[in-house]
């Protein structure tokens, strides 16, 4: 839904729910505000600002946000429903597993052995 409000004699248009939708998408992808900001080329503070209820980014940044989140701009804007949303905890776990996968094989084995040994102790 589009909301139009007057500010200092000018019309300001905002899309209802953009900020919370952006935050939900970011979290479901297991990204921090800083990580999303890095992918888009803005500071984490700008991402935090865009996630506010009454704020939204300039139009030129929307394609970058959509690409970074793996959605269409229509989905990002709420014009198209979001098909699936990953659980934020699952997304963070997958991100960590990807980092482990980037380790050399001996380090992967050592990490797995340490984890299994720690599990035996507890």
Distance between CA atoms of 99 and 17, rounded to whole angstroms? 33
pTM for this entry: 0.63
The CATH number assigned to the domain with range 2-85 reads 1.10.260.40
How many Cα atoms are found within 13 Å in the side-chain-facing hemisphere of 82?
18
What's the length of the chain?
Answer: 122
Band of residue 111 on the pLDDT scale cut at 50, 70, 90: confident
**pLDDT by residue (tens digit) across 27-82?**
888 889 999 999 999 999 999 999 987 788 898 999 999 999 999 999 998 888 77
In this structure, which long-range contacts are made by residues 71-80, counting pairs with CB atoms below 8 Å and at least 24 apart in sequence?
71/25, 76/21, 76/22, 76/25, 77/15, 77/18, 78/15, 78/16, 78/17, 78/18, 78/21
**Mean pLDDT confidence for 76-91:** 74
CB atoms within 10 A of CB 19: 20
96/79: higher pLDDT: 79
**Token pair of 120, please?**
């035996």
Residue 2 pairs in a beta bridge with: 15
Band of residue 87 on the pLDDT scale cut at 50, 70, 90: low
pLDDT value at residue 86: 60
Distance between CA atoms of 68 and 14, rounded to whole angstroms? 22
**pLDDT by residue (tens digit) across 4-26?**
455 444 445 667 789 999 999 99
Enumerate the domain spans of the chain.
Answer: 2-85, 87-122
Cβ–Cβ < 8 Å for 61, 42: yes
pLDDT value at residue 34: 95
pLDDT value at residue 110: 87
């Amino acid at each position: 839904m589009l909301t139009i409000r007057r500010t200092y004699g000018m019309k300001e248009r905002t899309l209802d729910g953009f900020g919370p939708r952006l935050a939900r998408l970011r979290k479901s992808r297991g990204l921090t505000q800083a990580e999303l900001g890095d992918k888009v080329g803005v500071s984490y503070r700008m991402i935090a600002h865009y996630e506010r209820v009454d704020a939204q980014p300039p139009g030129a940044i929307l394609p970058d946000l959509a690409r970074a989140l793996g959605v269409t701009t229509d989905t990002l804007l709420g014009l198209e429903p979001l098909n699936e949303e990953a659980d934020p905890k699952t997304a963070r776990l997958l991100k960590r597993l990807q980092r482990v996968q980037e380790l050399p094989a001996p380090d992967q084995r050592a990490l797995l052995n340490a984890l299994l040994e720690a599990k035996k102790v507890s």
